[in-house]
Every structure is written in structure tokens, then in C-alpha cells.
Amino acid sequence: IKKKLHLNQLSDVVFQLDLEGGLKYTLFHEIPSHKVISGNSMVALKSYVNVLNKYFPFRKEGMKFISKVYEEIYKKDDIGGSDFEALVSHYEKKYHSVFLYPQGWLGCRGSQPHYRGFPCSLWLIFHTLTVQAELHKNKYHDSDPKEVLHAMLGYVKHFFGCTDCSQHFQQMADSIDQDVHSLEGSILWLWKAHNKVNRRLQKDKTEDPKHPKVQFPTPSTCSNCSINGEFNDKNVLNFLRAMFHNISYLHLAAN
Ligand code: FAD
């Protein structure tokens, strides 16, 4: 695969398989693990499904799937976790080939099963959504530029199973309203936030030794993203736009 893509590292390519694997885990495991979703967690669920409906790079059947799920939950004030699971299962069966098959991690695959996987895919999903929101700005010109970040915050606060991660992220997210005023700003805010997490987790026991935490992108991944050791935001923005727009469908070798 590396040869085919002319790459040094598979982890610098965004695979549809990883995005869908992460998305399925949120819809079929993390959200349904709540007995009842109501109040603020229902607001968070609606915001999450709303940004997926607008910006997740689904194929045709996937778009029908997510728009039906959005339509169904939008009119509700609350929903049981098992009812939500029944809802997504129903529409997954109704629209064939919503998700790619076979499934498994590809860019997010760890050197051992307990490394990487879902948390890696969750970052990729939200980076992708920030970039896709900018690409779709003419279609949704009245959208709030912070819409994706607030949806991410809501998801992480109410549904992300890693409690420590959630608390750290909520602290960082305090600065969103003050710092973000545009769709470009939203892409860059998330990139910077992710790098802060990368820095904090360097040499942590959760770090996959085969995928060390780095300040991303490294000069070997993007040669003009840093100049004299300092990131150049404009060049990083262009790099992120390309990375999270050109999603790879190469997936057959995952299993
Ligand atoms: P990840 O950090 O998951 O990155 C996935 C991919 O994103 C990389 O392979 C790379 O291609 C790309 N990438 C890397 N950095 C950037 C960047 N700055 N901008 C854009 N793309 C980038 N774990 C903890 O132990 N403690 C925590 O507090 C914690 N907080 C988290 C908060 C959130 C919101 C999330 C989603 C995860 C958190 N995690 C935390 C998990 C942790 O950040 C990693 O996801 C996990 O360790 C797997 O790391 P990874 O090597 O797959 O790379």
C-alpha cells in the first residue's frame, strides 16, 4: 500500500475505512451505552448528528442513512440508548452498503491491539469535519464557524468513553469562543489543540512505540509547514485542507 501511495507513513493518509470505523463505534457503541439520552446530552447528540449529516464524507447510501437518523432524532426530546441503537441499525439495513466492508483499522492501526484505533479515528473524524465545513461554506453560508468544534466538545463531554481525555479537552475548549472567528480558524484551533495533546502524551504509556507522538506535521510530512522551526499557519492550513479532503478509499488490505 505504501508503495502505491508513494508514502513513508500510512498514518499521514486519511482512510475512509478509519473514519467509518470510528463513526460506527460512536453510533453503535458509545452513544447506545447511555441508558437515556436527554437534556444536554440530547442537545450534544443532535449537534453531532447534524455535523455528520452536513459534512461527513459519506458515499450516496451513507448520506441517506445519516439524513434519516438526523430527521428521526431531531424531533425527539430524549431517546433511550437501546432505541438509538435500534434506529441506526434499522437504517443501516434499509440502505445497503452504508459502510465499507471488510472493516478494520488501517491508518489508525496500532503496532499492538491496545494502541491507537478508536481515539485516533475520533481525531480524524473531527479534523475531517472542520475541513469539510470550510469546503461546503457556500452551501451552508449561514453556519456558525464554531459549529463543528462545539459538536466535538458536546460529543467528547457527553459520550467519549475516555473520561480523562474528556476533561482535558473540555479545559482546552474554554478558549474556542474567544479564539475562533472563522472556518479556517476552526481548522487551525483543532490542529493546535491536537498538538498540545500530542506534547502532553509524549513518552506516556499509551504512546505506541511505533507511532511516537510528534508535533504534526513533521518536516518530512510537510516541508513548508515549518520555517526555522516555527509552524507557518498558512502553509499548515493548506496542508490540512489537502490531507482531510483527499480521503483514501484504499481499504481491502485492512484485514
Ligand atoms: P492520534 O493523536 O490519535 O492522531 C491520529 C492521527 O491524526 C495521526 O496519525 C496523524 O495522522 C494525525 N494528527 C496527529 N496530530 C495532528 C494534528 N495536530 N493535527 C491534525 N492531525 C494530526 N489520550 C490520553 O492518554 N490522555 C488524554 O488526555 C487524551 N485526550 C484526548 C482527547 C481527544 C479529544 C481525543 C480524540 C483523544 C485523546 N486521547 C488522549 C487519545 C490520544 O490523543 C490519541 O488519540 C491516542 O493515544 C492514539 O494516538 P495515535 O498515535 O493514534 O495518534
Residue 43 CB-density burial (10 A; 0-12 exposed, 13-18 middle, 19+ buried): middle
Condensed to tens digits (0 to 9), the pLDDT of residues 139-178 reads 887 789 999 999 999 999 999 999 999 999 999 999 999 9
pTM: 0.95
Is pLDDT above 70 for 237? yes
Average pLDDT value for the chain: 93
The ligand 1 atom nearest the CA atom of 204: 25
pLDDT over 80 (residue 254): no
Which percentage of the chain shows pLDDT scores above 70? 94
- The mean pLDDT of 207-216, rounded to a whole number, is 95
Domains assigned to the chain: 2-243 (1.20.120.310)
Rounded to the nearest angstrom, the distance between the alpha carbon of 156 and the centre of ligand 1 is 13
Alpha-carbon span 50 to 73, nearest angstrom: 10
ipTM of the predicted assembly exceeds 0.90: yes
CB 53 within 8 A of CB 136: no
User: Could you give the CA distance from residue 200 to residue 151 in angstroms, rounded to a whole number?
Assistant: 24
Q: For residue 88, what is its C-alpha cell? A: 441506526
Q: Choose which residue among 18, 120, 238 to substitute to test ligand 1 binding: the one with the highest number of ligand atoms within 8 A of its C-beta.
A: 120
The residues, ordered by sequence, that sit 6+ positions from 92 with a Cβ below 8 Å of its Cβ are: 65, 98, 99
Interval 2-38: pLDDT, tens: 545 444 456 578 999 999 999 999 999 999 999 999 9
Report d(CA 251, CA 133) in Å as an integer: 25
In this model, does residue 188 exceed pLDDT 50? yes
pLDDT in tens, 91-140: 999 998 899 987 899 999 999 999 999 999 999 999 999 999 999 998 88
Per-residue b/e over 175-202, b at no fewer than 16 CB within 10 Å?
ebeeebeebbbbbbbbbebbbeebeeee
Q: How far is the C-alpha of 87 from the C-alpha of 199, rounded, in Å? A: 39
